[in-house]
Structure 1
Amino acid sequence: MRPDAPGRREVGAGITEECIRERNLSGTRALRKAWSSAVVDADVVITMTPQSVFGFRGTALTASTRHVAWIRGLPWPGPEEQPWPRRVLLWGAARHALRGADGAWATTPLLQREVRSAVRADVVPAGIPLQPRRHDGSSTGPLVFAGRLSPEKNPGLVVEMAQRTGRRAVIHGDGPLGRPLRAAAPGLLGWAGWSTPEDMWSTPGIFVCPSFREAFGRSAVEAASSGMPVILSDRTGVAPMLIRDRDLASRFIVPAHDIDAWLAAVDELDSDPDLRRRLSDHVSDNARRLGTEASLDGALAALDQLFRRTP
């Protein structure tokens, strides 16, 4: 764990947490040193971050130990994040590390396609603690955004929607774009900072996830499980898992760049209570397939298949 990782430290039988302060190559070496004795006799080791996948290479194991790389985000930088020589270098390193694993899982079909150039992965969704259902779509409310205020999350689209319609929006989160966005529409946006799930989903609204790059979409699953209607970009990994109905998908899975399509989707939900209820029921039901218990079932089934393939 990083020293600044959120949440509380887990304490209990069979649980060991190590704090890793080093970064980059030094962090990879520190990871390898921290777990070398803990995993040597393990039946299966599941790594969940690029650093842990890299660090796992070269770790001494018994012949029967299996290594699964559970890919929960693109393990190399996107075009907007690093110059192309560094992206190619990191892609090659990730490809080498991932292909050394006995199996690979991706949390969504979108992420599965994105890592296909490096590794063949099965889809095993991430487990999200679900919210109790609080909404049925009968009431509308502000636009709700939850996430890091950074370019790939596209929060500027929410600000533009508020500016063009005069509609109120509530922004949960913070990041490098926070200050300029606050200056752009000071009277229309509510700035809640980092909030608990209970605070984010307690009142009616329409959740929007306009991300250009969203490997999964934790906030989308939380919002949907609470019964809040959602509008998701076509680059949100969980979008086709939450909105499975073809008609609803054509209306509420929206191109990330198309502001007019976003405004039209919001207008549809505002003007049609029956449609809001239909979308609320649909996404709330589908979110139940993405909770922690469902994820555990999927992981155990995938492990069973792995051990059948590699006895």
Structure 2
Amino acid sequence: MTRICFIAAPLIARSGVYNSTVELVRAGRKAGLEWTAVLGVSTKAGGSPLVEEGIREFAREPSGLGGVRRLSSDLSELPEVAAADLRVSMVPQTDMALSLRSAPWVAYLRGLPWPAPTEASALKTAAWRTLELAALRRAREVWATTPTLADDVGAAVDRLVPPGLVPPRAPSAKASTGDVVWAARFSRDKNPSLFLDALRGTPVQGVMYGSGPLEEQVGAEVPTNVRMGGWRSRDEVWASARVYVGTSTREAFGRSAVEAAMLGIPVVMSRAFGCAEMIYTDETLSRQLVLDPADVPAWTAAITRLTADEAFYTAVAAHAQSNAQRLTVESAVDNVRTAAEAVLHR
């Protein structure tokens, strides 16, 4: 049986990639597969370290390109990594670390693996892109989660391997007059100011969950109808949610959007979300709810309508939920297993 080790280090939050990796390995092991995970997580990340068979979590702080060689050495000494037939990298620094070794590995891209133009200087973006592409050339294959991400990365991608996730637990009661929720890292690429602009001056009640470098700045700018909720578990995030709003300027998949849709919570999201075409397959709904981040009035109109028009809300919730329920972690396990076998036996 093929032994696969999924590696993600460093991680600055126990969210996105962290949760996806843990869920994938848990589901694989439940199916009888010899899968393990190695997760290097910042001590500043919210939540508590995971202690679970098959999953190793250790402290690892972001250290830029200078830490890549140390990470490569440290990973090579871990028994899960050494024993694997195939190593699957989940983040760019791990790509670079594994590229320094001869053992077989693949890069499973979950997001654009270098800074977007608005997130760093042109020089830094160019340097990071050059180094990452050099690392990807040493991988057995490069996988991407969505066509949107594959298009952004370009010819380096060899295969689409669609993701999936464990549905969140349904709240004990459906929120009939609940909050409009934003849940993400407070960083430039998540574009939190758009949420404030869209809700400012409306009767809609909003809440922002998460942590990150812009948290204090955003907290000082919130209008009276928006409150800061801090970092919360996903059960807490969805407990009172009526609508989810995803404002990111880049979001290769969009885990929170899929979770919300699985629960029958309508989603308003930017065109950057890779999952947008999976959740809204109706062209009219897509035009109304998958929006240009620059068009603030369109965001305000969509959010306001979902909080005021019950018939529209019900139709959107049913459509999104029906589509999202196909994106299960079991389907993701099958996708990864098929791709891994193809890599090792070609």
The reply to whether TM is greater than 0.5 is yes
Measured after TM superposition, the shift of residue 18 of structure 1 is 4.5
Match of 1:27 in 2: 67
1:176 corresponds in structure 2 to: 213
Classify 1:147/1:22 alpha carbon distance in 2 versus 1 (closer, same or farther; 3 Å): closer
Deviation at 1:129, TM superposition (A): 2.9
Q: What is the 5 A alignment of 1:93-242?
A: 93-117=131-155, 119-134=156-171, 139-242=176-279
| Match of residue 49, structure 2, among 3, 8, 24 | 8
Shift of 1:195: 0.9
> Contact 2:146–2:252 at 8 Å: present in 1 too?
yes
Deviation at 1:137, TM superposition (A): 8.2
Letter of the 1:113 counterpart? D
Is the 1:134–1:227 contact (alpha carbons within 8 Å) kept by the matching residues of 2? Answer: no
1:51 maps to: 93
More divergent stretch after superposition (126-135 vs 155-164): 126-135
Query: Residue 161 of structure 1 aligns to which amino acid in structure 2?
Result: A
Aligned mates of 1:40, 1:156 — CA distance in 2: 44
Q: Is the 8 A contact 1:46 1:67 kept in 2?
A: yes
Cα distance in 2 for residues equivalent to 1:212 and 1:174: 18
Q: CA deviation at 1:9?
A: 2.9
Give deviations 1:225-271, integer Å, cap 9, x for gaps. 22111111101122112222222212111111111111222233234
Quote how far apart the aligned CAs of 1:87 are. 1.2
Taking the aligned partners of 1:275 and 1:195, their CA distance within structure 2 comes to 29
**Equivalent position SS for 2:218:** helix
Deviation of residue 16 (structure 1)?
4.2
AA aligned opposite 1:240: E
CA contact (8 A) 1:20 1:27 kept: no
5+ residue gaps, structure 2: 1-39
Paired residue type of 1:54: M
Give the gaps of 5 or more residues in structure 1.
none
C-alpha distance in structure 2 between counterparts of 1:101 and 1:239, whole Å = 29
State the SS of the aligned residue for 2:135: helix
Partners of 2:274 and 2:139 lie apart in 1 by: 23
Q: Give the distance between the partners of 2:268 and 2:98, measured in 1 at CA.
A: 38
Task: Select between 150-159 and 35-44 the one with higher mean Cα deviation.
Answer: 35-44
Scaled by the length of structure 2, the TM-score of the pair is 0.79
Q: Larger deviation: 187-196 or 168-177?
A: 168-177
C-alpha distance in 2, partners of 1:228/1:158? Answer: 17
**Range with greater deviation from structure 2 (92-101 or 162-171):** 162-171
Letter in 2 for 1:9: L
The structure with the greater share of residues assigned to strand is 2
Between the two proteins, the alignment pairs up a number of residues equal to 303
- Flag the 1:193–1:305 CA change in 2: closer, same or farther, 3 A: same
Q: After superposition, what is the alpha-carbon deviation per residue over 1:152-179, rounded to whole angstroms, capped at 9, x for unaligned?
A: 2121122122223232211111333333
Structure 1, 175-184 or 293-302: larger mean CA deviation = 175-184
The answer to which of 197-206 and 126-135 deviates more is 126-135
Answering whether residue 322 of structure 2 is matched by residue 285 of structure 1, we say yes
Amino-acid identity (%): 33
**What is the deviation of 1:134?**
4.4
8 Å CA contact 1:139–1:273 kept in 2: the answer is no
My pick for the range that moved more, 95-104 or 15-24, is 15-24
Q: Which residue of 1 aligns with 2:3?
A: none
Secondary structure of the structure 1 residue equivalent to 2:195: helix
Q: Is the 8 A contact 2:41 2:61 kept in 1?
A: yes
**Structure 1 position 96, deviation (Å):** 1.1
SS of the residue corresponding to residue 301 of structure 1 reads helix
Q: CA deviation at 1:138?
A: 8.5
